[in-house]
């Protein structure tokens, strides 16, 4: 599919969170899950989202406009970074919770999960919180290129058993799953545009 991404706004505090009329899909994951790399892969650009060797670099809520479909991908601060201060982690958690709870045009949470790791407690907690908010989940396994086929299938099955939905497999470096992920995101944000597309995967719970 053809789509472009552009960074439109950045928010660091609750009062800066945008009250947008367009549909939004939040991207959330652990601080080293490869979220910035995934955004760059979706955009087909290397430097749209800043990639750092230091986990926890993203400390803001970044709003990327998707055109021509006219919705937003919202990059949330990475969580679970052990070297961040307690106050920083509390502030990030509060910002994330407020956004997920209060955003009226939020359509789903794309939960990014490291394909190399077994299910982590902090990821399961976020999934549970999203469900408590009646927010659909789109689980996305990142860094799948670093796993063999057997490991990928095993990890998908593991998460499917926990979330009752099969996660998408992706790799930012090899671009594995990028088209499938775009179709899934667009089907959520602009369902009318994809109603006739039977190739869009049923990956949202």
Dump pLDDT digits (tens) for 136-159: 999 999 999 999 999 999 999 999
Whether 201 is in a domain gets the answer no
Whether 145 is in a domain gets the answer yes
Check if the beta carbon of residue 27 is closer than 8 Å to that of residue 39: yes
Integer Cα distance of 64 and 89 in angstroms? 24
Higher per-residue pLDDT: 16 or 82: 16
**pLDDT confidence bin for 81, thresholds 50/70/90:** low
Domain range enclosing 25: 4-194
Dump pLDDT digits (tens) for 32-67: 899 999 999 999 988 898 765 544 555 678 999 999
Domain count, the chain: 1
Residue 184 is predicted with a pLDDT of 97
Residue 59 is predicted with a pLDDT of 67
Give the CATH number for residue 76: 3.40.50.300
- The distance from CA 146 to its chain's CA centroid, rounded to whole angstroms, is 19
Whether 10 is in a domain gets the answer yes
Whether 138 is in a domain gets the answer yes
Whether 205 is in a domain gets the answer no
Task: Tell me: pLDDT of 172 over 90.
Answer: yes
Whether 11 is in a domain gets the answer yes
- C-alpha separations of 96 from 57, 111, 133, 158 in Å: 16, 13, 13, 26
Whether 107 is in a domain gets the answer yes
């Amino acid at each position: 599919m053809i789509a472009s991404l552009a960074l439109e706004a950045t928010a660091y505090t609750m009062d800066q969170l945008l009250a947008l009329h367009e549909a939004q899909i939040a991207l959330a994951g652990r601080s080293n899950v490869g979220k910035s790399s995934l955004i760059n892969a979706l955009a087909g650009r290397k430097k749209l989202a800043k990639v750092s060797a230091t986990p926890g670099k993203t400390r803001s809520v970044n709003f990327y406009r998707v055109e021509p479909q006219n919705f937003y991908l919202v990059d949330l601060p990475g969580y679970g970074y052990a070297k961040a201060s307690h106050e920083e982690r509390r502030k990030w958690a509060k910002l994330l919770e407020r956004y997920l709870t209060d955003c009226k045009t939020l359509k789903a949470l794309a939960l990014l999960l490291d394909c190399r790791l077994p299910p982590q407690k902090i990821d399961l907690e976020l999934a549970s919180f999203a469900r408590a908010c009646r927010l659909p989940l789109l689980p996305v396994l990142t860094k799948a290129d670093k796993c063999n086929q057997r490991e990928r299938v095993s990890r998908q099955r593991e998460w499917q058993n926990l979330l009752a939905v099969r996660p998408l497999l992706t790799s930012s470096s090899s671009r594995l799953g990028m088209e499938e992920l775009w179709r899934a995101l667009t089907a959520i944000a602009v369902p009318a545009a994809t109603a006739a597309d039977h190739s869009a995967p049923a990956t949202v719970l």
